[in-house]
Chain A
Amino acid sequence: MPSWNVNDQKIPQGRLALVSYVFVTIVVLLMVGFWKLQVVQSGHFADLAERNRVRSIPIIAPRGPMIDREGRVLVDSYPSFSILLMRDDPKSLEKSLPQIEDGLGIDHGDLRQALDAAKSEPKFMPVIIKPAATQADIAFVESHRADIPVLELMMVQRRRYPHDSMLASAIGYVGEVSVQDMDQSDGHYRPGDLVGKAGLEREYNDQLEGTDGMRRVVVNSVGKVMRTLDNVEAIPGRPVQLTIDYDLQAIAEADMQGKEGAVVAMDARTGEVLAMVSRPTFDPNDFSVRVPKEEWQRLNTDKQTPLLNRAIQAQLAPGSVFKIVMATAMLESKAIPENFTAYCPGSAVFYGRTFHCWRPHGHGTIGLHAAIVDSCDVFFYNVGKQLGIDKISFYASGLGFGRRTGIDLPGEEPGLMPSEEWVERVYHHKWYAGETISVSVGQGAVTVTPIQLARMAAAVASGGTLVQPHLLKSFPNPKVDHFALSENTVEQVTQGLYGVVNEGGGTGYHLRLANIDLCGKSGTAQLMSYDAANRLGNKKMDGWFVGFAPRRNPEIVIAAIVQDTMEHGGEAAGPVVRDIVKAYYDKKTARSQQQATTDSPAEPNSTKPLVATVGVQHQ
């Protein structure tokens, strides 16, 4: 037997026991360790476990479309992908940021800003870091699911303006909700939410925006969705039907191509806006994702203010269009006899200052009708001098000047109708009587917006009914103001305005249309004083034309302005008005003929498929 194999040694019982005690101690310590995790900190870890496996993914509700009065789509939405950043694990988030910046080409500062903006949000709410993911972006997210688990894709509904800049100034645009709006929304908005920022998108935001849904899903360790816990479906936004007539809008847009100015066409009886153009303009598609900083800068600093809706925001001298107000004031106030005549030698001196007529050689002796038709300045200088500023102001204000029309668009400007009271309040001096002479021909302190001019013309031709212009087809209870005008006044003024277009020598004679009683008034506003313009050789002007048809109780009224032009209002803006009126009547004729030939109710053929398209998108 080998030496080691001898059973002559006692087993060291003591040391064996000691080994047992050591192990007992180890087990006790381990139990304490598990106790700490599973009992003391179990709440904390249960929380972490839940965050590990549950993700909340918003389901963005599509914004409602905008359609024209016949159901043709003006604005709609289409599905696209946004990239979300999950924030529930701040540490792994921080780690991944540089990789995300690289992979998705996001500026570090922008990413920080997006995260900072969401600081007060609950941690389970992700942040949108790339609203319009390209194919490459989507591939990046998909291929890095394991090592960048904080990225997630979300299907979103993006705004689409199929006709690009058409009606853009009225439609406005959408953009990410601002911090102020978010604070005021009482938790309704979250960072990255798209809201209407301007125009109709903003005005009818509540109707257009739906209610976002939320999908809570269980994901596994590589971010794969295993199952859905619950699903709150998104409620799509409701469609908004506008009063706009696509056909008329298209003509107005085409006529204003390359020009500066605005057009607004309105149903004179109801206030429904049929067309609205402002030039220069922008393409709202540029805003539907995220406006690049440079583009935003350009739009905001451009001297031509493309973001301005000139139809309601440009406050301009009405020029001779103001003579409609002067004529109305003269007849209505009865301060001057109807058969009053003035002698126009081409200029006249008031209060020691020479005021020119647009026609250098003058009109000779002239009465009210001819003064409207040929737009004699000297005649209205005299009328203005006799009426005084307060009477003029009274009638101008009655016809809607100096206050907002109440159109359903944000940011409408009120224009300005000066008065003695106004000048004392604002400038603390007496009204200079000479100013009245300037105001009499729509120069000086008086400013108006195109929509105000259109409404004024409609009001005069309809006996003093001022409608509230609106773009929403189902606009509830449009406000109607009455500024009663006598039949004689209406008849005489409208005869004058009819003469402008339909009498040889009228400033709008070239605009006459067969079988249509187009009436109107041209206006040409000097951008600087007569003398200064002559001195500088700069004859740039604002050319107005306000027209309506038929002569009494008109159906359609249009105000058009072409700015910074060398032409007079009749030539510059008149054709725009004529084209729209002609198209309006052509459509009307076609419709009645169709009605005559078919027994079916008057529903344009083109409407049906377009309405169907809208329906499909919002199921």
Chain B
Amino acid sequence: MKDRPRTQDFDWVLLAIVAAITTLGVLEIYSSTHASAMAGMQWKQLMWLGLGVAGMFIISRIDYHTLMDQAPVLYMIGLATLLVVLAIGQSRFGAKRWVSLGGGPNFQVSELMKLIIIIVLARFFSEVRTDRLTLPDLAKVAVLTIVPVGLILMQPDLGTAMVLVPVAVVGAFLAGIEWKHLAVGFVLIALMIPLAWNMRKHLKPYQQQRIETFLHPEENPRSAGYQVLQSEIAVGSGGFWGKGFGKGSQNQLGFVPVRYSDFILAALAEEQGFIGVCVVLLLYLGLVLRLVDNAQKAKDRAGMYIVMGVTAILGFHVLVNASMVIGYMPVTGIPLPLMSYGGSATAFVFLALGLVMNVRMRRFVN
């Protein structure tokens, strides 16, 4: 047994997969923007990646048990930050999600909440001493989750709010939720869909529109439905082999919305074809399986919950983003982790990976 966590114990296989995905991402950002006014974006993304890697190393150094000790404090900080954003945050793209960091780049604080919820729920689940999750425990999990979800919804940011839910669901599942509770949960969700449908009048206009256009994509050609349609056109016209690097007319000419960010998979699908998409999806599958592997090898349940929290969020991102690109889910503004351009999102993923490394490095440490 080693007595000290060492960098050599990082999951280099996982990092190799991450490197492959980010490389594809940076190349696609370059390819889809080089001929436009946004040319040079790949350099900024590389900078974010560098900052992310640094953050990953730093966070891996702080023992995750120490972080979990501070879970209540972190939770309070997280909620307080969300409240501050609601009070003073800057509106961008029609929602308050950003806090200006003293002249520096703006930071989307809900990304921070994702990290905090992972730690908080990991702590909660590891305090459950049995292999069965009781109803009161489930209720507590629900409350812990719903408070930040509610605050993020008020920004409003439906996408990020939804992302917190899988952490709780996967955690509860691993913590031994009873099958009947799980079944009831699914039934409840199913029942809530018509309820939510009746509540849609209380949604922000852009959210209503997104739902409308998801249900009737052709009716509103220049809005979200138009975006989905254009994304589908880009993906479909890419065909099996793709149009080639830098040759995707739909993304190059701006038909694909935010082709360097939320719809980067559409741009890649157009240029690299079905083959390229398969490579990307298999890389993500490899990433997830490798994360699960790390969870399986974690020293304790606390570590496992942390790794699986990260896994839940990343997997959910991939699922929702890829589904959106092919029109299977409404546009919710959830980026594709490690590929989409964006500072906050990239930072979150690497900090989350830092947590994973954190757990992994300490699996043999006593």
What is the distance, in angstroms, from A6's C-beta to the closest C-beta of chain B?
8
Q: Is the interface of B mostly helix, strand, loop or mixed?
A: helix
Confirm or deny: B306 has a beta carbon within 8 angstroms of a beta carbon on chain A: no
Q: Are B281 and A221 within 8 A (Cβ)?
A: no
**Given A37-B326, A38-B269, A95-B221, CB of A12 within 8 Å of CB of B126:** no
A24 to B273, CA, bound (A): 21
**Given A5-B126, A27-B282, A34-B277, CB of A42 within 8 Å of CB of B250:** no
Q: Are B69 and A2 within 8 A (Cβ)?
A: yes
Q: Are B254 and A220 within 8 A (Cβ)?
A: yes
Interface-side segment among A45-53, A284-292, A536-544, A574-582: A45-53
A48 to B231, CA, bound (A): 11
- List chain A residues, Cβ under 8 A from B249: 49, 52-53, 218
**Given A34-B269, A38-B239, CB of A7 within 8 Å of CB of B300:** yes
Q: Are A23 and B288 within 8 A (Cβ)?
A: yes
Confirm or deny: B352 has a beta carbon within 8 angstroms of a beta carbon on chain A: no
Confirm or deny: B262 has a beta carbon within 8 angstroms of a beta carbon on chain A: no
- List chain B residues, Cβ under 8 A from A49: 233-234, 236-237, 249-250, 255
Which chain A residue shows the least CB distance to B240? Answer: A39
- List chain A residues, Cβ under 8 A from B53: none
From residue 307 to 364 of chain B, which have CB atoms closer than 8 A to chain A? 308, 311, 315, 318-319, 322-323, 326, 328
From residue 19 to 49 of chain A, which have CB atoms closer than 8 A to chain B? 19-20, 23-24, 26-27, 30-31, 33-39, 41-42, 44-46, 48-49
- List chain A residues, Cβ under 8 A from B173: 15, 18-19
Q: Are B298 and A53 within 8 A (Cβ)?
A: no
Q: Is the interface of A mostly helix, strand, loop or mixed?
A: helix
From residue 411 to 438 of chain A, which have CB atoms closer than 8 A to chain B? none
What is the distance, in angstroms, from A88's C-beta to the closest C-beta of chain B?
12
**Given A3-B127, A49-B233, A52-B250, CB of A12 within 8 Å of CB of B326:** no
Confirm or deny: A107 has a beta carbon within 8 angstroms of a beta carbon on chain B: no
Confirm or deny: B218 has a beta carbon within 8 angstroms of a beta carbon on chain A: yes
Confirm or deny: B28 has a beta carbon within 8 angstroms of a beta carbon on chain A: no
Q: How many B residues face the partner with a CB closer than 8 A?
A: 60
What is the distance, in angstroms, from A52's C-beta to the closest C-beta of chain B?
5
Q: Are A27 and B299 within 8 A (Cβ)?
A: no
Interface-side segment among B2-10, B81-89, B289-297: B289-297
Q: Are A218 and B253 within 8 A (Cβ)?
A: yes
Q: Are B235 and A37 within 8 A (Cβ)?
A: yes
Q: Are B281 and A31 within 8 A (Cβ)?
A: yes
Interface CB pairs A-B, < 8 A, 23: A11-B296, A12-B131, A16-B174, A19-B174, A19-B308, A20-B288, A23-B285, A23-B292, A23-B315, A24-B289, A26-B315, A31-B278, A33-B322, A34-B269, A34-B278, A34-B326, A37-B232, A42-B236, A49-B255, A91-B219, A92-B222, A219-B253, A221-B230
A: residues with CB less than 8 A from B are: 2-7, 9, 11-13, 15-20, 23-24, 26-27, 30-31, 33-39, 41-42, 44-46, 48-50, 52-53, 89, 91-92, 95, 146-147, 149, 218-222, 226
The 9 A-B residue pairs with the shortest CB-CB distance in the complex, in nearest-first order = A45-B236, A49-B237, A221-B254, A4-B127, A92-B221, A38-B274, A220-B253, A37-B236, A42-B239
Given contacts A48-B237, A53-B253, 9 further A-B contacts (CB under 8 A): A34-B235, A39-B239, A45-B233, A48-B236, A52-B250, A147-B222, A218-B253, A221-B254, A222-B254
